Chains A and B, each alone.
Chain A
Amino acid sequence: MSTASDQPRAGYFGPYGGQFVPETLMHALDQLATEFAAAMDDADFRAELDRCWRQIAGRPSEMYFARRLTERCGGAQLYLKREDMNHTGAHKINNTLGQALLTLRMGKQRVIAETGAGQHGVATATAAAVFGLDCDVYMGTEDMRRQRLNVLRMELLGARVIPVEIGQRTLKDATNQAMRDWMASCEQTHYILGSVCGPHPYPTMVREFQCCIGREARRQMLAAPGRLPDVIVACVGGGSNAAGIFAPMIDDDVRMVGVEAGGSGPALGKHAATLCLGAEGVLHGARSFVLQDDDGQTAPVHSISAGLDYPGVGPEHAEWKRSGRVTYTSVTDSQALGATLALSQTEGIIPALESAHAVAEAMRRAADMSGDEIILVNLSGRGDKDVTEIAEILERREQSEG
């Protein structure tokens, strides 16, 4: 008997992906997939997206040789893809500009988004302001507390930030609420999902909108230093900045490392290392890896960085893990904090706590590699949003150390 699983299906990456959502959303997903496919075949759409990336996001982002950090690690050369220098401060704007243009194409007037670190919320609010769309952003109250600067930015940009008081009051809960909003509003509202997660077509679409990172990085590396890196390192929350830099070089002879949030330890509830420590499961519309208990209930997660504090991960990463194409590892809260200080003080760059996870892994690897090898780090965002939280953590640490 032939079943659906005999053939590769749209929206699947090996056994992962799919559309595990209520019937109410199926029509909207269908419409989105059709519109996205048509847009990608439309030269005018691509030209307009390129223009937005250039004039609004400020692309291309720099490729930067981190000389003093390299010296400090005493090994491989460290290059940084400077997504932190994009307008709004992270890679998230690449995706929201693409989805906002799609929103216009679909004739919808309102967008909604979930946000953890607030970067995706700010990027959505920015795109909404540029194109004159109504914008509501769902955010857990714990994240509103630790990313207060971004809450204020969203409000200044004219978006409404809707506090989410359920569950752990972080990214997963904000995503639930955004999906519930969309259940009732999908005829007039587009849901701008912020990572390569969720039901098809989101994982494919968000990856495509983030691939500008990897395409530029490839070109820039070939120009100077004149060859591709030996290793690319990126942090993985849902996995969009990582997918964006990996995918355009996936067929090249380059090792790739995804870095998850190791939090404060390997016990369930203490980390957000979904691929490293989770199991196959279904969450937010896709079959992938998840952190859940034996009964299929989503587990609590923890990370110092709100943007990595999520119990799921994009299905294409699950497939890259399965095939062995990408290696996944994790970095703890305190290692990420250490990397934040190191990068700030050697290069004058305060990284987002999310991106600091990638920096920490790169520093660890660089020390064991030779001086003619190259590690490219996707520096996905800047740390302005994190400074008060970091200051508080350092203060608490000083107090407890007496």
Chain B
Amino acid sequence: MSIDNNRLVRTFSDLRQKGKSALLPFITAGYPDLDTTAALLAGFADRGVRVCELGVPFSDPIADGPVIQSSYTAALDAGITCEQIFKTVRRFRDATNPAPDGSALRSDLGTATCDLALLAMVSYSIVYRRGCERFCMDAAAAGFDGLIVPDLPLEEAGDFEPLAAEAGLCNVMLIAPTTPPERRYELARHSRGFIYFISVAGTTGERDKLPDETIAAVRELREHTDTPVCVGFGISRAQTVRTVCEVADGAIVGSAIVHRVTDNAGKPRDELVRTVGDFVGELLEPTR
């Protein structure tokens, strides 16, 4: 397998052709439950989301702030496993993939067909335990298009990159504000699908405003690479999405969305999906 026909790669080249950028919502897989996760994905796709990140709950997520941490803890307390997440993604794909005759296979998610690119944000602790090769094969078979392994830096990724590529997955690498310039270009050369530019030094969490340096740094990076660049960490409102998308191929929003899932976790599923979807709709506006 190669990643040439990868959904993530296709999506970003289509967006570039149209001169558009993407909003990448992040949600925690299995939070508050797996059916809600599938319904949220379908709802996002309906509203025009093209790329989405699913966080695989982990007991010790050191790059995450309190909002995502507690969603992970809740999902793990509810017994969510990797296998269940893969099954849910497979079910989402089966329910939303176009059938060979062009019609939707079925519609228990109440959605039309879609071609949503899906990434798993997953700790290397989990990948390693399952076995790197097996994890990549299983993730690809489930219907993931890419992986973000935030605790697998360049130095350790040598053996992993070919395994992801063979499974047909994009391995997305991250660049931090603390990353020196030469290393940024090296990371950009290794990253597949897009480059994840971390906007602030620190953990995930909502912030009012991004540092000015971030915008300049993204602009500078894009002069050095053809790989799309998406910016994440700290983005929590449409205004910031707009600013980011003036220079980047996409804006990633995590805690602000997960926080709204938390606020609505006790409500009926339809209502949760609608409320969170409305917020994602607002965030999508600047990308239209």
Q: Is the CB of B125 within 8 A of A180?
A: no
Contacts of B198 in A (CB 8 A): 23-24
Q: Is the CB of A176 within 8 A of B60?
A: yes
- Residues 174-211 of chain A: 1 if any B CB is under 8 Å from the residue's CB, otherwise 0? 00100110011011000000000000000000000000
Cα(A123)–Cα(B153), bound, Å: 31
- Segment among A14-22, A261-269, A321-329 that sits at the interface with chain B: A14-22
* Most A-side CB within 10 Å, residue of B63, B125, B175, B176: B125
Contacts of B34 in A (CB 8 A): none
Cα(A285)–Cα(B187), bound, Å: 19
Set A5, A18, A28, A290: member contacting B178, Cβ < 8 A: A28
Cα(A282)–Cα(B198), bound, Å: 23
Contacts of B177 in A (CB 8 A): 24
Chain A: residues with Cβ within 8 Å of the partner, total of 37
User: Given the known A-B contacts A26-B153, A186-B178, are A283 and B62 also in contact in the complex, defined by CB atoms under 8 Å?
Assistant: no
Q: How far is the CB of B203 from chain A (nearest CB, A)?
A: 5
Q: Is the CB of B125 within 8 A of A19?
A: no
Q: Is the CB of B123 within 8 A of A296?
A: yes
Cα(A282)–Cα(B151), bound, Å: 10
Q: Is A126 an interface residue (CB 8 A)?
A: no
Contacts of A20 in B (CB 8 A): 124-125, 151-153, 156
Contacts of A22 in B (CB 8 A): 62-63, 150-151, 153, 174, 176
Cα(A167)–Cα(B69), bound, Å: 10
Cα(A21)–Cα(B82), bound, Å: 21
Q: Is A172 an interface residue (CB 8 A)?
A: yes
Cα(A292)–Cα(B82), bound, Å: 14
Q: Is the CB of B180 within 8 A of A27?
A: yes
Nearest opposing residue in chain A for B122, CB measure: A296
Q: Is A399 an interface residue (CB 8 A)?
A: no
Q: Which 10 A-B pairs have the closest CB atoms?
A: A296-B129, A184-B202, A4-B158, A296-B126, A24-B176, A27-B178, A297-B59, A179-B62, A23-B176, A298-B59
A sample of 8 more A-B contacts (CB under 8 A), given A281-B129, A296-B126, is A21-B151, A21-B153, A167-B59, A183-B202, A284-B60, A296-B82, A296-B125, A297-B58
Can you list 26 pairs linking A and B with CB atoms under 8 Å apart? Answer: A19-B155, A20-B125, A20-B156, A22-B150, A23-B176, A23-B179, A26-B153, A27-B176, A27-B179, A166-B73, A172-B60, A183-B62, A183-B63, A184-B203, A187-B178, A282-B129, A283-B125, A287-B128, A290-B125, A295-B81, A296-B58, A296-B82, A296-B125, A297-B58, A298-B59, A298-B125
